[in-house]
């Protein structure tokens, strides 16, 4: 939030969420900001959402139920928030004539094996196709896809830090790999994607991968390991771009763009980049950019 205020100096910045405690903490941390507005609301509440979007020109849609086990146990709630909420954001943004709307996606929606990934897959498709619905309002929709944010709520680092006090940590599978990035890198990529978007793109950053053993060694060095098995809905490795998507993918230097395979994407909207080879797959276990224990330790130290 501070990055948005410092970089763009907005006339008005609205925080819309259902968590008043986090809004209070945010207000205390940022101090007195005349441009900040805090709205209590839920993306499921279309009427309240439309009120919050009045006069807004840019929206970052980050609301989601994202804990894999929680979504597996509460599937209908996940659908209501992650899919129904996305529909509400799209329709409210079009009616309010918002200029740009960017949704935060996830690697778990690619070749999904869990409900969370499935709901985010549908939400991403809705956002890309929403550009067909917004020709009159001019609203542009795009998506970012990235991996696990180091130290985010519910992350394995939090679990390891709490467990290390006992001298033993639990691992699901020692072979597991993940894409990782810091909160700062994630924020910067989202803001750059908003500046770059023309409508319909899926932006994918080039990220390092790491193994669960390297994370465990960096965060809880010397602790005993107990392997408990992969939880329902978990993958051994994550994928950010599947081979089936490769025909639409452009390599743009430090990120990829997945172009929309729909009629609204015109030549004048094309992103400058190099086509990836057919069959290209961006997976955490085959990613050449790997972080070892020391690399993870440095990232954790940046939290």
pLDDT of residue 183: 87
| Helix (H) / strand (E) containing 16 | strand 13-17
Q: Give the model confidence (pLDDT) of 20-46 as tens digits.
A: 998 888 888 887 677 888 999 999 999
3-class DSSP state for residue 110? Answer: coil
Active site residues per annotation: 108
Tell me 21's DSSP state: H
Q: Compute the CA torsion angle 3, 65, 16, 62 (nearest 10 deg).
A: 40
Residues of the chain with pLDDT under 50: none
pLDDT of residue 263: 67
Q: Give the model confidence (pLDDT) of 245-279 as tens digits.
A: 999 999 999 999 999 987 666 655 566 799 999 99
Cβ atoms of 299 and 150 within 8 Å: the answer is: yes
3-class DSSP state for residue 190? Answer: helix
Q: How far apart are CA 210 and CA 175, in angstroms?
A: 10
**Domain coordinates of the chain in residue numbers?**
41-301
3-class DSSP state for residue 169? Answer: strand
202 - beta bridge partners? 143, 258
Question: Taking phi first (over 0 means left), then psi (-120 to 50 degrees means alpha), and beta for anything else, what does residue 199 get?
Answer: left
Q: What do you get for the CA distance between the two ends of the chain, in Å? A: 16
Residue recorded with tokens 């990220």: 207
- CATH superfamily of the domain spanning 41-301: NAD(P)-binding Rossmann-like Domain (3.40.50.720)
């Amino acid at each position: 939030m501070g990055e948005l205020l410092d970089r763009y100096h907005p006339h008005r910045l609205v925080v819309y969420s259902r968590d008043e405690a986090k809004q209070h903490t945010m207000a205390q941390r940022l101090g007195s900001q005349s441009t900040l507005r805090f709205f209590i609301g839920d993306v499921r509440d279309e009427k309240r959402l439309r009120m919050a979007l009045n006069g807004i020109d840019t929206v970052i849609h980050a609301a989601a139920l994202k804990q894999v086990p929680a979504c597996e146990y509460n599937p209908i709630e996940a659908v209501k928030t992650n899919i129904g909420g996305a529909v509400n954001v799209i329709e409210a943004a079009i009616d309010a004539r918002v200029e740009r709307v960017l949704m935060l996606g996830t690697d778990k929606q690619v070749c999904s094996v869990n409900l969370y990934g499935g709901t985010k897959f549908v939400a991403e498709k809705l956002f890309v196709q929403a550009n067909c619905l917004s020709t009159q309002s001019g609203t542009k929709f795009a998506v970012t896809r990235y991996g696990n944010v180091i130290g985010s709520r519910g992350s394995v680092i939090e679990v390891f830090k709490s467990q290390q006090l006992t001298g033993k940590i639990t691992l699901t599978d020692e072979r597991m790999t993940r894409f990782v990035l810091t909160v700062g890198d994630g924020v910067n990529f989202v803001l750059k994607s908003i500046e770059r978007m023309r409508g319909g793109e899926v932006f994918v950053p080039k990220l390092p991968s790491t193994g669960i053993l390297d994370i465990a060694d960096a965060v809880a060095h010397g602790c005993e390991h107990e392997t408990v098995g992969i939880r329902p809905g978990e993958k051994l490795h994550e994928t950010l771009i599947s081979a089936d998507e490769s025909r639409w993918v452009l390599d743009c230097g430090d990120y990829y763009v997945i172009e929309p395979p729909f009629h609204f994407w015109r030549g004048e909207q094309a992103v400058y980049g190099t086509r990836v080879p057919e069959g290209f797959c961006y997976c955490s276990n085959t990613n050449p950019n790997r972080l070892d224990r020391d690399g993870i330790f440095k990232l954790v130290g940046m939290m």
